[in-house]
Amino acid sequence: MTLTTWLSLLTISLLGAMSPGPSLAMVAKHSLAGGRTNGISTAWAHAFGIAFYAFITVIGLAVLLEQSPLLFKTLSYAGALYLAYLGLNALRSKGGVAEKLKSGKAVSIRQSAREGLLISLLNPKIALFFIALFSQFIVLGNELSSNAIIVLTPFVVDGLWYTLIAVIISSSKWVNRLRAHAVLIDRLSGAVLIALAVRVFTTV
């Protein structure tokens, strides 16, 4: 893989990571409710989900998804249902930032990591992202080194980006301001998650 090709891959990976959505809401939620370690755990578990999608694209399962509309729709609807579930919980402040801050309930690192991984694996937007954009890099070279770079680049970019978000959100300068608006954060994140779920159901 040439440097120019890798820079294109890096740019696409960065833009994908920076795109606001349920992943950002999930990292913010655990950074506030559990602290910096929980936020970072969420970030890297999410990155493993990203690496999984990159990996299946490399080995050709993306082609299978494109050629099997039923399989792809099943995956998309499952992801939409999960997004809607998270959104409803956030609107009711069940499992969201407000409830955990109000009750003082501890959030385990394992729970943070699990939710970070699931929000990544069950987000249809991520599946679409890799199927639509990453196929061009698969064509450019089938060497083991090139395939490894295709998988590792989005993994590292995603993990580092959300680690930065977790560090910023959990810093003492910001955390008190954000906690003061915990209920509003829950309501907004819930609305975003439900809107994304509705969009999937109406466009798939």
pLDDT for residue 141 is more than 70: no
What is the structure's pLDDT at 138?
Answer: 59
* Token pair 């003061």 in the structure block, residue: 180
Is residue 22 very low, low, confident or very high in pLDDT (cuts 50, 70, 90)?
Answer: confident
| CB proximity list for 38: less than 8 A, separation 6 or greater | 30, 31, 107, 109, 112
* Token pair 């440097």 in the structure block, residue: 3
Mean pLDDT of 99-126: 77
What is the structure's pLDDT at 140?
Answer: 46
Per-residue pLDDT reduced to its tens digit, 41-92 = 999 999 999 998 888 877 775 566 667 778 767 766 777 787 788 788 778 7
Distance (Å) of CA 159 to CA 48, 64, 102, 134: 8, 27, 29, 18
Distance separating alpha carbons of residues 166 and 176, to the nearest angstrom? 14
Check if the beta carbon of residue 100 is closer than 8 Å to that of residue 33. yes
pLDDT for residue 14 is more than 70: yes
pLDDT for residue 161 is more than 90: yes
Q: How many CA atoms lie within 13 A of 90 on its CB side?
A: 27
- Domain-by-domain residue ranges, the chain? 3-13+21-203
- Residue 194 identity: I
